[in-house]
Structure 1
Amino acid sequence: MTDPILDLRAVGLTLAGNAGPVEILKGITLSVGKGESVGLIGPSGSGKSSLLMLLGGLERASTGSVRALGQDLTAMDEDALARFRRQNMGIVFQSFHLIPTMTALENVAVPLELAGVRDAFARAEEELRAIGLGGRLDHYPAQMSGGEQQRVALARAAVPRPAILLADEPTGNLDGATGETIMELLFDLRDRHGATLVLVTHAPELAARCDRIVRLQDGTIAGEDRRATTLAGVGE
């Protein structure tokens, strides 16, 4: 793989626990190419979400290096990490994390406003209409269903056109039909904007949509599977 978008080398993560230090991740080495979609799977406690947080610079590696778009995240301070995320990453969480006092339109416009984009609200409206929420622009999170709130969260993550899209259990709080809709939207956003996608999921059908599945067990990579179509496409 040439010039990976995301590149982890011998990464470890140790956090303080009630009974002493807890080793969450151990010697993780992983590269993700431009435009690739990678699903992180494994049992609860295997380190999937922690790995995603490291990729997003939301947790700092205890050992090893984490690089994104050629930049060393482990060498950045918190302000630099925040700027890097704002310019290059979109992150979607299981619990939506919408601002309750803002409408759907305002929530989606936030990252653009922070970046000083002049037509922030016009672009936010365009993104919401593209995912079928044109009739919900002025609604607050409490006035929307869980599926609609997750759609708003997806639009907010995608509207800055990030090079990297990270998703942590994006369908985890939703029923099957709604989760299927969110899954289609997630991959549509990836395709429309050409982002590199890494997602954590317990849903086999969602993981199966990815170019590559990385299986975690006890804080280590236990194995990887790549879709046959992807293998044929790259001649591996």
Structure 2
Amino acid sequence: MPDPVISLTDARLTLAGNAGPVEILRGITLDVAKGETVGLVGPSGSGKSSLLMLMGGLERATGGRVSALGRDLTALDEDALARFRLGNMGVVFQSFHLIPTMTALENVATPLELAGKRDAFDRAADELRRVGLGARMDHYPGQLSGGEQQRVALARAAAPRPALFLADEPTGNLDGANGEAIMELLFDLRQQHGATLVLVTHAPELAARCDRVIRLRDGQIDAEDLRSAAQ
């Protein structure tokens, strides 16, 4: 494999619990190649979302090493991690995480403004049109359906042209039709931007679209499934 986009070596995550330390991730070693799509699957509590958070520097490993795009995330402080994510990663959550007092356009433009992009609102408008929300730009999240809110979240993640998309249960709060539409958009955006995609999902049909599926159990990699057919 050429230099991986994401590399974890014996990565561990232990958090404090009421009854003492809790091992969430127990020695994960994993490389993700440029342009690859990887699905993280497994039962609830297996560590899928925690592993995704380590990859994005949203959670700090308590052992081992985590690097993304050639940067050692374990060596960066919180401010440096935030700046690194802003320019390189698009993150999509199950619960959207939109700012309720901002319009769809403002939600998408905000990370671009923070990154110093002078054309932030033009790029945000283009991205909203790309996800089919050209007529909803001036609406607030409370005026949008769940599927529309997730489209805004996808546009926000894609607008900075990230090298890496991270998605945590992106269809988890949506009905079947909206989930299918978001799944198509997510893979289309990844392809348009030539990005690497890592996603957490319980949906077999979403995992089946990935090049590789990593199955976790009890904080460890239980199995890997390389999809031989084109997805």
Match of 1:191? 191
Instruction: Quote the offset at 1:228 in angstroms.
Output: 1.0
Matched residue SS, 2:166:
strand
Match of 1:175? 175
Match of 1:146? 146
Match of 1:123? 123
Matched residue SS, 1:35:
coil
Match of 1:211? 211
Matched residue SS, 1:34:
coil
TM-score (norm 1): 0.97
TM-score (norm 2): 0.99
Instruction: Quote the offset at 1:58 in angstroms.
Output: 0.6
Matched residue SS, 2:155:
helix
Instruction: Tell whether 2:83 aligns with 1:83.
Output: yes
- Could you report, residue by residue, the CA deviation over 1:28-81 in whole angstroms, capped at 9, with x for unpaired residues? 000000000000000000000000000000100011000001110000001110
Match of 2:137? 137
Matched residue SS, 2:135:
helix
Percent identical among aligned pairs is: 78
| Separation (CA, whole Å) in 1 of partners of 2:103 and 2:175 | 24
Matches within 5 A, 1:10-25: 10-25=10-25
| Separation (CA, whole Å) in 2 of partners of 1:59 and 1:14 | 11
Instruction: Quote the offset at 1:229 in angstroms.
Output: 2.9
**What 5-or-longer segments of structure 1 have no aligned partner?**
231-236
Matched residue SS, 1:229:
coil
Alpha carbon RMSD of aligned pairs, Å? 0.6
Matched residue SS, 2:229:
helix
Match of 2:99? 99
Instruction: Quote the offset at 1:93 in angstroms.
Output: 0.2
**What 5-or-longer segments of structure 2 have no aligned partner?**
none
Q: How many residues align?
A: 230
Matched residue SS, 1:161:
coil
- Could you report, residue by residue, the CA deviation over 1:1-33 in whole angstroms, capped at 9, with x for unpaired residues? 110000000011000001110000011000000
Amino acid paired to 2:136:
R
| Separation (CA, whole Å) in 1 of partners of 2:224 and 2:72 | 25
Matched residue SS, 2:171:
coil
